[in-house]
Structure 1
Amino acid sequence: MEKWQKDFLELIETAVDEVERLFLEVTTTVETLFELSGEFSEHLHNTIVTEVEQYLADLNDDVDLDSYWHLDDLMDDSEISFPYSVEPTPQQHPACMGCQHYHGQVYGGNLMVCAMHPYGWDDSNCPDWEAEEFEF
């Protein structure tokens, strides 16, 4: 082997060694960074949890929350209702009959007629009335 070939081979080996050393240093640095960030996030989490628990304990001492926890016991199960549909009739909301905007759902005892006129229109001719579109 000639001298320039040996020099070139040594140069390549040196470059490989340096790149390997660089990767080892980067790996060590990244591992250290992950360890430090893990410790920092754990410390931060513990600090925040402690402060929030202390704040809630102080709030509980200041306000009598026990009276609020039992409010659901006061509600009668019959008062809880699910939305149901109501169709317009000539006696109730005649302007809404056949209108595509009619919603007709009862929420908590309150009828939602449509978005434009939540309580319905007073007479039999609504200015926003549009015929229902049926899709087949």
Structure 2
Amino acid sequence: MDEWQKDFSDIVKSVSDEVERFFTGMTEVVDTFIEMTEELSEQVQTSLLSEVDQYLQDLAEPFLEVYWDFEDVLGDDLSSHLPYPVEPTAEQNPACMGCRNYHGQVYNGNLLVCGMHPSGYEDQSCPDWEGESIS
């Protein structure tokens, strides 16, 4: 083998070894960076979550105190101001039974039957009655 072929072969082997060492070193650096990033993110997440939790508690506490004080003042009267549903019966709003327009919510003591007849329809059958749609 000629001398220059041997030198060329040695140079290629040397470059190959250096490239392998370079990528091995870069892999170690990247792995270390990823580990540090994971540790840092865990620490930030832990501290951030506790700080946000504390902040939200501090923020909500005055509102909750006012709410509980308000509930103590109103007592059972509070529930009478909240809307609640009323179903049509044979005695009350019989024309509305099975109608898809029936709303039937009580607001502050007043029953809203439907948009067409807010107080309900007087007869047994309503001209605006529409059956429940089956989807």
TM-score (norm 2): 0.54
- Aligned CA RMSD, in angstroms, stands at 4.3
Task: Please tell me the residue identity of whatever aligns with 1:68.
Answer: E
1:42 correspondence with 2:39: no
Give the distance between the partners of 1:82 and 1:13, measured in 2 at CA.
84
Q: Secondary structure at the match of 2:51?
A: helix
Native 8 Å contact 2:103 2:112 kept in 1? yes
Change (3 A) 1:32 1:83: farther
1:19 correspondence with 2:23: yes
Structure 2 residues not aligned, in runs of 5+: 89-94, 106-110, 118-135
Change (3 A) 1:74 1:28: same
Of Structure 1 and Structure 2, which has the larger fraction of its residues in helix?
2
Task: Please tell me the residue identity of whatever aligns with 1:105.
Answer: Y
Match of 1:105 in 2: 102
Match of 2:58 in 1: 54
Match of 2:8 in 1: 4
Give the distance between the partners of 1:41 and 1:9, measured in 2 at CA.
47
% same residue: 14
Number of residue pairs matched by the alignment: 107
TM-score (norm 1): 0.53
Task: Please tell me the residue identity of whatever aligns with 1:43.
Answer: S
Greater shift in the superposed pair: 49-58 or 5-14: 49-58
Match of 1:65 in 2: 68
